[in-house]
Every structure is written in C-alpha cells, then in structure tokens.
Structure 1
C-alpha cells in the first residue's frame, strides 16, 4: 500500500520544490507566482511538503496578510495525483495559517490547469467574472534603501505623455534611447548595444530636464539627479564625493542618472598649475567608462553651453549621442498653449494667434506667459468692479498682453549659436 507523510518545509527541501515546479512547466502549465516568490514564501511564510519515503512528491505554500490568505503554490508529481495528496496539503498549510485569524483563503490558478479536485474538496469555490491583473514593479525592495540614500525617486508613469509638443525630439529619444533600453533582448538580437550615456544640449528653458525625467518615466526606472554643488561640501572633496555617488548608484538594478549644467564639472581644462576643478573633470572622465560597463542604466547630462565642455568629455566611447533640444516649433507651441488654457474657456481662445505671437519662446516662456494670463484674469474677475459680465477664465487678450510683456529667454544671437552647435557637435 502506497503511503506518504506531510511535514513542514525544511531548508534542504528546495530541490524538491524545484522538481515540482519543473514538472508543471513540462506540462505547459505556467504557475501564477514566480519561482523566486514561491521560494521566498517557503522560507518566510507557510509551506508543507508531502513525502513518499525520502522523495518530495507534493507541496503547498501559503502567505497570510491581515485576515486574507493566499495559496501561492500547490503541486504534486504526476505519478501521485488523484490520491488525495493535494487536499491533505491544503488542509495542512491552512492549519498552519490559522493563527492569523483568516476570514478568507484564496488561490489563483493558471487557466491551463485542469486538476481542481483538491480545492473543491477543501470547500473552495470558483469565482466567476473575475480577471487577474499583474504588473511588474520596477524597483525591488532591496533597492529602496539605496535609492532613498541617493535621493532617487520613481516618477509618474504618464510623464512622457504629458510632455506637450516637441514631437520630433520625443520620437528621436524614443527610438535612440528608450527602444533599445526597454527591449534590450530584442536589441541584442539585432546587434544593437543599448546607449549608456547621452548629452542633451540647447538654450536655457527648452526642456532638457523635463526630457531626462520623461525618459525615466517611460522606462519606469529610478531617476537619480546628481547635484555637484551639494557634493562640493563633502569632507572628501567633490571628486571623491562624485566617485562614491556613482559607486552607490551601482547598487541599483536600473537607473536614469541625471547631471544638469554639467559644464560646471566638465569644462575645458587649461592653465598651469591645474585648477582643483580640473581634478573633478578628470575624475568624471574616469567614472563614465566604468559606468558604461553596467547594464540597465543610462547617464543623461544636460548643458546650456556645450562649447564650454572639455573636448575629451564629448568624444565617442563616452557618450553615444549628443542630442540638441531646441525651441518648440509652431505645432509644439500650440500643444503647450492648449495644455495651460483652462478647459472652461478652451474653445474661446484663439490658439493660432497665440502660437504666432509666441514665436521664439521656450517652453518655460510659454508656461510663464500662460500662468501670468490666468493670474491677471483672476484679479480682473475679483477686483474689477466695472466688469459687466462675469468672467469664467482668461481671454485671448489676456494671453496676448502677457506674451507682449514676456521677454524671451533665448535671444536671436543664442539661437544662431545653437544652430552652429548642432552643425558642429550634434550626434544623433
């Protein structure tokens, strides 16, 4: 007569769990929970195994939180099915979870599984009209401490979509950066090496920082901004603090690392004797090749003055792309205006006129003018006693007034220099 026994999971039972897992996979049954989750619950939560002699022929793994319990894993070897082992395993693991005061015990099973007798024997019922949703969380628990120490954060997932206009720049960044990083295995098949470092350059206020954050949002990677000015006060000096920061970043599985105004620490080296800042530039030049050897991360540097960067900093082998971010075209300006115009008056505003009036404006200029117009309209509605009709928001005239009063950040001379920089230094 065939007999078996059920006992608690022991550390040396891992091989038996792996055998059960593999048996399911060989039957084209994809378990709901990853193997790493099952093994983690075996060690930290509740798990029992069924033994035939010394061989593990079945296992049940459960997890409890508050008054809700979940069956994370239930499996028996094919030769031992139909003998009631599954039912006994469920009863055993439920008994060990009873101390949590559960009022509900649930299980998720792949729709390819056909053996539900163990669950029905224990009183489980199939819930109709339910769908199982799953999403991978990009940052693992072990990384949270390191990310917090670095001041990193996960940005909203819709930030990329919220970048108004700038469609040409977005498409370029999507194709060159996001695509090979997000689909690294496919990129490898095509012989594409994912980018490791890029420079965004352009006049002030054109959205370089916004694009860096949008890349992190699009990839769902932690965004870590490095502030050289804050590191300068470190007892070990700026160069040493910079080196340690990048060593800490190496603890993260993924990261978009951003350095704004990078010309402050990577300007042209000259003079005798070398200045202290030249030592910082030398350190950064050493850091970047080491950073490039680490997959799953990208360095984004931004500068308003690309001509001031050290020539060795921009060379091939350090930065994959040198991408210009310029002033928005008419289509982009229209999208930006529409973003800031209140919905209540959107149909009453002559956006085309605003687009023409704001030629040469940066995104920051448009935002300033739009918000100023809203403020001005609010003040008129509250304090203008001569107003015959009650206003529901700003009017086209309000926007045109603030546009006329807003001084463009980018002068004609700066815009001309930017075009020269594109011709001389851009690498897309």
Structure 2
C-alpha cells in the first residue's frame, strides 16, 4: 500500500471531508462546528488533507481571529487512526497559520471524544473548568440587506413573556404554531406538518398585532410587516408591488410575515365589472400557495372583520388555522393591570376592583386607562405642591376614575358577533 502525504485542501476534496464528517457522526462524537462552517473554512481559511493515492484519509481545518487560532475540524478515517496522521495534520495547518502572528491555537472538543493524542502530541494543554457557550444569530449577514430593504427587524427575545394574561391564547399558539416551527425534526417524527399561514381574527384592540410580534420573538425569526397602503403607490400597482415584496421575502431563510387588516386586500369578490381590488385579491391568492412551499416561514394575517374576507381566502390549504383572539377574561385583566401599575404601589392598589370595573375592556383599553391614571396622578401631585419625596404614585381611585371615563372599544353587539364568528369560522 502506498504511503500517505499531506497537502493543502483542494475543491475536489469536499467529498472526502463529507466522508470524514460522517465517520465522526457514526462514532457518536458530534462535531462542535456545523458541517457548513467546516466547508466554509475549507474554502476561505486554512485546511490541509492527508491523502493516500486519491483517497482523503484525514483533514485538519482551522481559522484565525485576530491573534487567536481555532481548530474547526480534525479527523482521520477509522482504519488509519493511531498512525500519527492527526498530529502531522495539526502541525501542517499550524505552519500555514504562522503568518497571522497568532499567540494561541485552541480547539473545542466534545466531552465524549476520547482520541485526543494528536492534540497532546502537539503540545496542546487541556483546560479545566471551562464551559462552552453558543448562540445562533437569527439573521445571517447575507440576509441583512434583504431584511433592511423590506423594513423588517429582529424583535426582542422577551416579547412572548411580556404578553400579560391571555393564557389560553398563548397556550394555543404555543402548541399549534411555535412548537412545530421551532422543532421541525420532532414534528416530522410525529407526522406533523409545520404551519405556514394563519389568520388571527377578533375585535379591535385585542392584541392580534402583539401576538404576531410575540410569535416572531418566540421563534427568534425576523419580523416583516407588509403594509398594503404603502405598496399601493408603487409604479406597478398594489398587485405587482405585493408580488415583488414576497419575492424579496423568499430570500430570507426564516421569517414571520404579518399583514394587518387583511380584509382591505382580500375582501369578498363581487360585482360586474370586477373592481380593481379583485385583481389584488387574486394576486394574494396566488402568492400564498407559493409562500407555503418554502420551509422556515409563517404568514400571519389579522382581521377585525373576518366575515368580509373572500371565501376562497380562508379555504383549507391556504391557512392552517383561523384563530380567534377575544377580550381578556378576569385572569387576563388582572395580569394586565399588575403589569401596567407601577411595581412600588401595586400592593396598595385594589386590583380586583379594577378587574371588575374593566369588564369588556380590550388590552388596549386597559393600557390606555392605566397610562391615563398615572398621568393624572402625576399632574395632581404637581398641582398640589406636595414634596415629591418617598414612594408616590397612583391610587385605586385614580384608576377607577379613568376606567369610568374610558369608552370600551368593543361594544356588546360586536362582542356577541365575535362569538358567532368563532362558531362559524374558527379553525383551531
């Protein structure tokens, strides 16, 4: 059998790297770095291979970051282990990195890795009491430009936790949407197809937009809101601008797309001759199936008037779920009041009295009343000329006053109609 040699990585060695990677996986030693990272470093950083004839029997891949070098990948085929190939590969890749003026060369190893002779033979020292922390950045550099063009953003990670109350709605969205999208491999094992599109419907001010943003935050996916009113002024018209926007969205690996008041562009089609908006509705109906063909994305449409939507829009196959978002119950209202009342005075406030007085209020109504009470309490304290020292803030009466003066956004008739919509159109 011919002797093996070490040389620089060539593009035709990719299959050999893949075979080495797979051999590690089969030995239950999960590599620290992803395969995509290893292949990227092979092309852009430093990589050497050990070959026997045309066969790649070992490889070492490394990258430099300032004065620190990192071994990204080191492996030899099982039948060639114990011959010193790993040690020689480490020496070769280190020699190619000398020009960077490195002060240190380091490697991260899985705890299950037992074959470390190559490292110890090269003088690597095992560091004790260290932990490796890793976090995935939600948006890759290549996607950043497309996201900025779309006006999208990555939302704070705590939005889901900041949704006060609405426990039943949160639990439903967690089970139906977040779980299968966040764990697609687990979902596949159970035969669950991750959702691609969902409609949230309910009276105004019930938090549909807040939930859409919270879902994106929970998944750590970029959030892109599509504003039909802004697209209407584009040279190609609303239908053409909508089509182009979704073509740009397709460049993102993961995304939550949100369209609020979707009834404006998906209302019932009727009349002769067809209205200009019917063309927009037709275009949206074409866009949704193409959107659904791409993994790692979710379309969330919100409407206050679900009965006005075109029947074809809500058809099975376009939207996985049609989920009602209604007025908060007592527990939800209590959680909301506790959130909006300043923490240092909440123990002195009769929260249950506020919960009872705000029956029929939407989350937006409660927030408005709470903010108004705080503003009035501040103004009154300033007007009274009392020294602003110690613990000061609103009292129960301030909140009850603003609740009494706040007109509920959702009338009794609208609330009753919403219950009928749930019975007729909800799909959860």
Same structural fold, with TM-score higher than 0.5 when normalized by the shorter chain: yes
1:221-255: CA deviation from partner (whole Å, max 9, x where unpaired)? 22221110111011001011111112222222322
CA displacement at 1:2 relative to structure 2 = 8.0
For residue 77 of structure 1, report the CA deviation from its aligned partner.
2.9
**Do the aligned partners of residues 9 and 403 (structure 1) sit closer, same or farther apart at CA in structure 2, a change above 3 Å counting?**
same
Does 1:78 pair with 2:78? yes
Please state how far the C-alpha of 1:327 moved relative to its aligned partner.
0.7
Alpha-carbon distance change, 144 to 372 in structure 1, aligned in 2, over 3 angstroms: same
- The residue aligned with 1:248 is 248
User: Unpaired runs of 5+ in structure 2?
Assistant: none
Distance 1:297 1:85, change over 3 A: same
Q: Is the 8 A contact 1:381 1:390 kept in 2?
A: no
**1:94-133 → structure 2 map (5 Å cutoff):** 94-133=94-133
- Using a 3 Å threshold, how does the CA distance of structure 1 residues 259 and 77 change in structure 2: closer, same or farther? same
Write the distance in 2 (CA, Å) between the matches of 1:19 and 1:123.
28
Which secondary structure state, in structure 2, belongs to the residue aligned with residue 299 of structure 1? strand
> Are the aligned partners of 2:2 and 2:53 in contact in 1 as well (CA < 8 Å)?
no
Aligned to 1:47: 47
SS in 1 for 2:313: helix
The answer as to whether partners of 1:69 and 1:104 remain within 8 angstroms in 2 is yes
* TM-score, normalised via structure 2 length: 0.93
After the TM superposition, which residues 11-410 of structure 1 pair with which residues of structure 2 at under 5 Å, given as runs? 11-386=11-386, 390-410=390-410
CA distance in 1, matches of 2:96, 2:254: 38
Q: Deviations over 1:9-40 (max 9, x none)?
A: 12122222223223323332221112221111
Alpha-carbon spacing, 1:295–1:382, altered in 2? closer, same or farther (3 Å): same
Aligned residues: 428
The CA distance in 1 between the partners of 2:71 and 2:264, in whole Å, is 56
Closer, same or farther: CA 316–379 of 1 in aligned 2, 3 Å:
same
Could you list the per-position Cα deviations for residues 171-223 of structure 1 after superposition, in whole angstroms to 9, with x for gaps in the alignment? 22222222333333333343333322221111111000011111122222222
Task: Report the 3-state secondary structure (helix = DSSP H, G, I; strand = E; otherwise coil) of the residue aligned with 1:314.
Answer: coil
Shift of 1:387: 6.5
By how many angstroms is 1:386 displaced? 4.7
SS of the equivalent of 1:343 reads: coil
Find the aligned partners of 1:388 and 1:44 in 2 and give their Cα distance: 62
Stretches of structure 1 that go unaligned for 5 or more consecutive residues are: none
* Residues 17 and 310 of structure 1, relative CA distance in 2, 3 Å threshold: closer
> What is the alpha-carbon distance in structure 2 between the residues aligned to residue 375 and residue 17 of structure 1?
65
Q: 1:25 to 1:193 in 2, by over 3 A?
A: closer
Q: Which stretch shows the higher mean deviation, 361-370 or 6-15? A: 6-15
For the aligned residue pairs, the C-alpha RMSD in angstroms reads 2.2
Deviation at 1:366, TM superposition (A): 0.9
In the superposition, the TM-score normalised over structure 1's length comes to 0.93
Taking the aligned partners of 2:143 and 2:47, their CA distance within structure 1 comes to 27
For residues 36 and 359 of structure 1, do their structure 2 counterparts lie closer, same or farther at Cα, with a shift above 3 Å needed? same
